[in-house]
Amino acid sequence: MEAVMNNISVEKAKTSKIHEVDFENLSFGSIYTDHMLVCDYVDGEWKTPKIVPYQPITLDPSAKIFHYGQSIFEGMKAYKDDNEKIWLFRPLENHKRLNKSAKRLAIPQLPEAYFMEGLTALLQLEKDWVPTTPGSSLYIRPFIFASGTGFHASPANAYKFIIACAPSGTYFSGSVKVLIEETYSRAANGGVGYAKAGGNYAGQFYPTQLAAEKGYQQVIWTDDNTHEFIEEAGAMNVFVRIGDTLLTAPTNDRILDGITRKSILDIAKDEGIKTEVRKVSVHEIVEAAKNGSLKEMFGAGTAAVVSPIGAFGYKGEDYELPELKDSFASRLKKRITDIQYNRAEDKFGWRYPVS
Amino acid sequence: MEAVMNNISVEKAKTSKIHEVDFENLSFGSIYTDHMLVCDYVDGEWKTPKIVPYQPITLDPSAKIFHYGQSIFEGMKAYKDDNEKIWLFRPLENHKRLNKSAKRLAIPQLPEAYFMEGLTALLQLEKDWVPTTPGSSLYIRPFIFASGTGFHASPANAYKFIIACAPSGTYFSGSVKVLIEETYSRAANGGVGYAKAGGNYAGQFYPTQLAAEKGYQQVIWTDDNTHEFIEEAGAMNVFVRIGDTLLTAPTNDRILDGITRKSILDIAKDEGIKTEVRKVSVHEIVEAAKNGSLKEMFGAGTAAVVSPIGAFGYKGEDYELPELKDSFASRLKKRITDIQYNRAEDKFGWRYPVS
Ligand SMILES: Cc1ncc(COP(=O)(O)O)c(C=O)c1O
Ligand SMILES: Cc1ncc(COP(=O)(O)O)c(C=O)c1O
């Protein structure tokens, strides 16, 4: 069956897998919806995107994605409100960041219309897949990779842009125990840390495994030069509350400019919380933990939303964080999710209707 | 047709493409032989490798290679001597480095026997593809990538190891003009620079494009912290001759430990050339260029062999290198290629017979 939505051709799946899915017990990112958006870059241009049944991708063994890590991605969510209406959260920011990543990875810029119209058409088709169990949402994964071929370390001449969707539960359950890293690093000055490039993630797996063996679920990355300043976690930016001030590191070329991070900063200001965007040293955090002024730490990201950090390890010592009743983390999480799920006024204009 | 070579099952291609190939005019890495080796990691182990016709790879859109850059590779060459005998150069070093890369990228270790027997069986089958035109060879690309699925930033549970081969001409023609980088970087302290990880290459494309726009073919990377010390080029380690001393940077966690580099160091010592493995500052190179003691710079790598650098740019100035008659580069290149093509005694025991 062929149809056209927002100028995008749609080839519908013959059968749906939706009835096989246990929406009450969703894990994160492991079940995919019936359709995906595909858009090819060939002969120097992005062709019109198409919606097709979710299906395998076939590539030559010399496709550059297999050899040179030329790939970028985004992570977004679609939220269903009580009236079954579907919403996105600041999707234009994801498009902007995708193109920022694309530039750094020598991938051609993707037109905004292809991204936004493709996304909207796909979500309209997949609307029944957006879960309503508390804490769950439809995780959306736009990605671009080098499909052009050749064993020559240079940019590909062909790319694929795909959007796939996965109904998902929470990323972390409960509070997270993190290790502040002293040896390994995530990103170089002048490198690709600020881009959502595939290679940034693979490089974190081994140090994260080492941390997991010691009982930590995530690593807090520090600058690669001195390891004295905290940067971010594997898939979250990091906030620290000392006394009544909320601190987070400034973005730079090593840190992903998180959309949740900047939204949290805006909401915090709106809540009258004192915020400081400045370098935060490990020394300062450890001292604050010792003298009792360290009140909270939490991660913020699309997948993890706002994830409280229960304890951190540093140089062989563990430091527990207090359990607060009315924490900044819980207030900020409620504010941002109320906007995302259309349960509260959207004074910042962040919600984006899909249907 | 099924056959078994070194315990490896072989499914032969129905027809060969070899007669379509212009062996006199080969580019680098753009034509592939009739067969490839494939080995799957599933259920916690590497299964027995198989040789199959060169063919497309089919993967789920959620395969982690598309999202998290979890991939590594090697680059080797097979050389044909005057008696049509085929040789490899220090192949066990490639296997060792592949596993070093695998460890850092949280990819399971590949058994040496699978690598060596698979490689040998494949090359025995493809021996007619090894070119004999001067400067040409069969470029061999072993690679491993994450085929396991999931939109969760964690190591995959399935991988593919493949060896593909491409009859290839020279990587660079003539001498190379390079830019010493002051802004961008290739690798972080504590990062994955010493691994042959896909992501390390994609990150270089954009800065290399910027350099190309200014007329430079390659970037010489400097340390990400100060940009004062040279590290290596995109796919080559770098040597500098000041007076009669040959200098190269020590390997560290940011620099690929090149097999050509260490072979060149051994040959240079054997030739009675004074070598120093130590940090080489950009300042020192510029000063030497100004006072006339900078005699040579060259890159060394499997693909590029020994590639003389004709000029370098730094802070907007270009510095030309002299054209020497009996350069270290040409002496060392002759010594190493004579060993590789079995034209000279192999006093170091580096040649490895395939047939
Ligand atoms: C490395 C990294 N930092 C931070 C974030 C948070 O960014 P955002 O809030 O835009 O999801 C992400 C993505 O989720 C990430 O991958
Ligand atoms: C970044 C980098 N440096 C150096 C080299 C040279 O290493 P080898 O001599 O082992 O080929 C390579 C690979 O060819 C490389 O990719």
Residue B85 phi/psi, 5° resolution? -85, 145
Q: How far, in whole angstroms, is CA B12 from its chain's centroid?
A: 28
CATH number at residue B188: 3.20.10.10
CB A192 within 8 A of CB B188: no
Q: What is the pLDDT of residues A307-339, one digit of tens each?
A: 999 999 999 999 999 999 999 999 999 999 999
Q: Give the separation between CA B129 and CA B139, rounded to whole angstroms.
A: 10
Say if residue B306's pLDDT is above 50.
yes
Residues B131 and B184 in one domain: no
Residues 28-87 of B with CB under 8 A from A: 28-30, 32, 36, 54-63, 65-71, 73, 75
- Is residue A348 within 8 Å of A338, Cβ to Cβ? no
Instruction: Answer yes or no: is the C-beta of B232 below 6 A from any ligand 2 atom.
Output: yes
Tokens of B58: 């089919």
Q: What percent of chain A has pLDDT over 70?
A: 98
Residue B209 CA, chain-centre distance (Å), reads 20
pLDDT digits (tens, 9 = 90+) for B118-166: 999 999 999 999 999 998 999 999 999 999 999 999 999 999 999 999 9
**At residue B5, does pLDDT exceed 60?**
no
**Is residue A15 situated within a structural domain?**
yes
What proportion of chain A, given as a percentage, has pLDDT over 90? Answer: 95
CA neighbor of A294 nearest in space, from A278, A277, A304, A280:
A280
What Rg, from alpha-carbon coordinates, does chain B have? 21
**B350 within some domain:** no
Distance of alpha carbon B165 from alpha carbon B118, whole angstroms: 13
The verdict on A195 and A92 lying in the same domain is no
Report the candidate in A77, A138, A143, A137 with the shortest Cα–Cα distance to residue A115. Answer: A143
Of B124, B140, B168, which residue constitutes the final position of a domain? B168
Per-residue pLDDT for A5 more than 80?
Answer: no
**Tens-place pLDDT, residues A109-164:** 999 999 999 999 999 999 999 999 998 999 999 999 999 999 999 999 999 999 99
Mean pLDDT value across residues B74-102: 98
- Mean pLDDT to the nearest integer, B95-108: 98
Residue from B89, B93, B237 whose mutation best tests the ligand 2 pocket (most atoms within 8 A of CB): B237
Partner residue facing A150 (CB), from B30, B186, B198: B30
Q: Answer whether residue B240 is part of any domain.
A: yes
Ligand 2 centroid–CA B256 distance in Å is 6
Query: Which residue puts its alpha carbon closest to atom 13 of ligand 2?
Result: B235
pLDDT tens-digit readout, B227-283? 999 999 989 999 999 999 999 999 999 999 999 999 999 999 999 999 999 999 999
Torsion of CA A307, A310, A315, A317, to 10 degrees: -170
**Residue of B61, B69, B224 lying closest to A202 (CB–CB):** B69
Cβ within 8 Å of A, B 85-144: 103-106, 139, 141, 143
Examine the domain organization and report whether B111 and B201 are in the same domain.
no
Burial A228-238 (b: 16+ CB within 10 A, else e): ebbbbbbbbbb
Which domain-ending residue is among B110, B140, B168? B168
pLDDT classification of A206: cutoffs 50, 70, 90? very high
β-bridge mates for residue B346, sequence order:
none
- The reply to whether B114 and B232 lie within a common domain is no
Ligand 2 atom 2, closest CA: B235
* pLDDT above 70 for A2: no
Question: How many Cβ contacts (< 8 angstroms) between chains A and B?
Answer: 251
Do residue A105 and residue A216 come from a single domain? no
Domain that holds residue A47: 9-168
Tell me the average pLDDT of chain A: 96
pLDDT at A83 over 60: yes
Question: At which residue do the structure tokens 């470029």 appear?
Answer: B139
**DSSP assignment letter at B281:** B
Q: Are residues A154 and A233 in the same domain?
A: no
* CB within 8 Å: B224 and A191: yes
Confidence band of A1 (pLDDT split at 50, 70, 90): very low
3-state secondary structure of B187: coil
For residues A53-76, give the mean pLDDT. Answer: 98
Q: Cα–Cα distance between A277 and A265 in angstroms, integer?
A: 9
pLDDT of residue B4: 61
Residues A208, A211, A217, A218: is their CA dihedral positive or negative? negative
**Minimal CA–CA distance to A239: which of A169, A318, A176?**
A176
Q: Which residue has the higher pLDDT, B266 or A4?
A: B266
**What stretches of B54-95 adopt beta strand conformation (E)?**
57-59, 71-73, 76-80, 86-89
Give counts: helices (H), strands (E), chain B. 7, 21
Domain count along chain B:
2
The stretches of B214-344 forming alpha helices (DSSP H) are 259-270, 282-291, 328-340
Instruction: Note the pLDDT of residue B174.
Output: 82
Alpha-carbon distance of B353 to B90, in angstroms, equals 10
Domain end (from A168, A189, A204): A168
Task: Identify which of B259, B222, B201, B236 has the alpha carbon closest to the alpha carbon of residue B306.
Answer: B236
Give yes or no for a contact between B70 and B145, defined as CB atoms under 8 angstroms apart.
Answer: yes
CA atoms within 13 A on the CB side of B246: 24
* Size of chain A, expressed as the number of residues it contains: 355
**A310/B contact by beta carbon, under 8 A:** no
Query: Does residue A187 sit in the same domain as residue A335?
Result: yes
Residue B158: CATH number of its domain: 3.30.470.10
Mean pLDDT of A289-293: 97
| Interstrand relation of A45-46 and B2-5 (parallel, antiparallel or unpaired) | unpaired
Looking at the fold, whether A217 and A330 belong to one and the same domain comes out as yes
A307 and A223 share one domain = yes
pLDDT at A258 over 80: yes
Least CB-CB distance to B69: which of A55, A69, A168? A69
Q: Is B17 on the interface with A (CB under 8 A)?
A: no
**Residue A287 tokens, joined:** 């001292």
Contact B186 A188 (CB under 8 A): yes
In a domain, B140, yes or no: yes
Sign of CA dihedral B258, B231, B299, B219: positive
**How does DSSP assign A126-184, residue by residue?**
TGGGS--STT-EEEEEEEEEE--B-SSSS--S-EEEEEEEEEE--SS-S-EEEEE-SS-
Q: Do both B197 and B53 map to the same domain?
A: no
pLDDT bucket at B1, cuts 50 / 70 / 90? very low
Question: Does the pLDDT of residue A290 top 50, yes or no?
Answer: yes
Q: What is the maximal distance between C-alpha atoms in chain B?
A: 66
Residue positions counted in chain B: 355
Residue B83, CA distances (Å) to A124, A352, B186, B333, B338 in order: 66, 70, 42, 22, 14
Torsion of CA B10, B15, B21, B27, to 10 degrees: -40
The answer to whether the CB of B261 is under 6 A from ligand 2 is yes
For chain B, say whether A229 makes contact (Cβ under 8 Å).
no
Q: Are residues A237 and A133 in the same domain?
A: no
Is B55 in the same domain as B103? Answer: yes
B342 has a pLDDT exceeding 80: yes
Asked if residue A108 is part of any domain, the answer here is yes
For B199, the closest of A60, A139, A197 (CB atoms) is: A197
Give the three-state DSSP class for A7: coil
- Beta-carbon contacts of residue B39 (< 8 Å; ≥ 6 apart): B46, B47, B48, B49, B50, B110, B114, B118, B160, B161, B162
Q: What is the pTM of this model?
A: 0.97
Assigned domain for A345 exists: no
Whole-angstrom distance, CA of residue A267 vs CA of residue A333: 10
CA nearest B202 in A: which residue? A70
